[in-house]
Structure 1
Amino acid sequence: MRTVARIWHRIGGPLQWRLLWLANPKFMVGVTGVVRDADGNVLLLRHRMWREDRPWGLPTGYAKKGETFQETVVREVREETGLDVRVGELVRLTSGYRLRAEVAYEARLAGGALEVDPFEVLEARWFAPGELPEGLQESHRSLIRSRSG
């Protein structure tokens, strides 16, 4: 073991990082924004690419290389809806679904005009937390309810 440790220390940072990168699984990170307006209503999207029986969900997307998860929330909300948000606290961090981690943040509406990206989104609406639509992803329903009132 000492020999391995000596070799490890000699090869230096960049090569160490490359070896670690090669030896470990790669993860996609799904990032979700629980976006609320000033009245506490939550922004939900009817997603074109999701299952027909569960099309409703929060703004969600994958983090890009070099992007913070908070930046992902801002980007995804803007791309999907045209709205600007201020990202708040981390509300969920989970892993275990294949090679994907899931991150969710609270976010507040900061401006912009609602205009959906028709490629990804069929409809965007604000809902009171007690009046969520049928066909809402259960994991998103629990995120909304756990953070309401």
Structure 2
Amino acid sequence: MEQNAAKPPAPRVAVVLFLLKDESVLLGRRRSSVGDSTFALPGGHLEFGESFEACAAREVKEETGLDIDNIEVLKVTNDLFHEGAEPSHYIMILLRAVLANPNQLPENLEPDKCDGWDWYEWDSLPRPLFWPLEKLLQDGFHPFLIV
């Protein structure tokens, strides 16, 4: 094999969080080449050696300033993205949690990636949703049900 041959693209791991409050979930409007202007959950890339729970807590803190508690893994998905300059493949780890302090308010700490965060009732989510979240809904997924 040639030493200079390009490596084939590899799947990446994303950790995505359903942050629940009463009957609402926290969503932000994306500013990205993939899913621009759609509503999505907080989350990001898993770092080397990091647990899913630690990644969720870190990403939510970086994006919203919120501290979370009672973190649990709900589901894993296998998603291919064909938007943007290059296709990508993500293994998504979906978790849920609640606020460590219910009086905390989300801040938009990454305005270059998100137009802002707000709480939306699960039964009346805004549209358009980021397609992996839309697909979960179409498949009947519900983050409030006990797993």
Partner of 1:91: 74
Partner of 2:121: 128
Q: Which has the higher helix share?
A: 1
* TM-score, structure 2 normalization: 0.72
In the alignment, is residue 62 of structure 1 matched against residue 52 of structure 2? no
Structure 2 residue runs without a partner (length 5+):
1-8, 81-87
Partner of 1:42: 25
Structure 1 or 2, whichever has the larger Rg, is: 1
Q: Secondary structure at the match of 1:34?
A: strand
Alignment of 1:1-149 (within 5 A): 27-37=11-21, 39-49=22-32, 50-52=34-36, 54-95=37-78, 97=80, 99-111=89-101, 112-117=104-109, 118-141=111-134, 142=136, 145-148=141-144
Partner of 1:20: none
CA RMSD after TM alignment: 2.3
Using the TM superposition, give the Cα deviation of residue 27 of structure 1 relative to its aligned residue in structure 2, in angstroms.
3.9
| Paired amino acid for 1:75 | R
* TM-score, structure 1 normalization: 0.71
Using the TM superposition, give the Cα deviation of residue 26 of structure 1 relative to its aligned residue in structure 2, in angstroms.
5.2
Q: Secondary structure at the match of 1:140?
A: helix
Contact preservation (8 Å) 2:53, 2:72: no
Tell which deviates more after alignment, 114-123 or 95-104: 95-104
Kindly tell me the number of residue pairs found equivalent between the two proteins: 123
